[in-house]
Chain A
Amino acid sequence: MIGEFEYLILTAASRLGDNAYGASIRTEIENATGRACSVGALYTTLDRLEAKGFVTTRMGEPTPERGGRSKRLVRLTSSGAKVASDFFRAVSRISQGASWVTNRSTR
Chain B
Amino acid sequence: MRVYEILFIIAPNVEETDVEALVTQFSEVATNQGARVTKVDRMGRRRLAYPIQKFKDGHYVVLTIEGTGAEIAEIERRMRVTDAIIRHLSVRIDEDLKRAEKFRTRRAAHSRAGRAAAALGSQSAAGESNAEEEE
Decide if A and B are genuine partners: no
Give chain B's interface residues, CB within 8 Å of chain A.
none
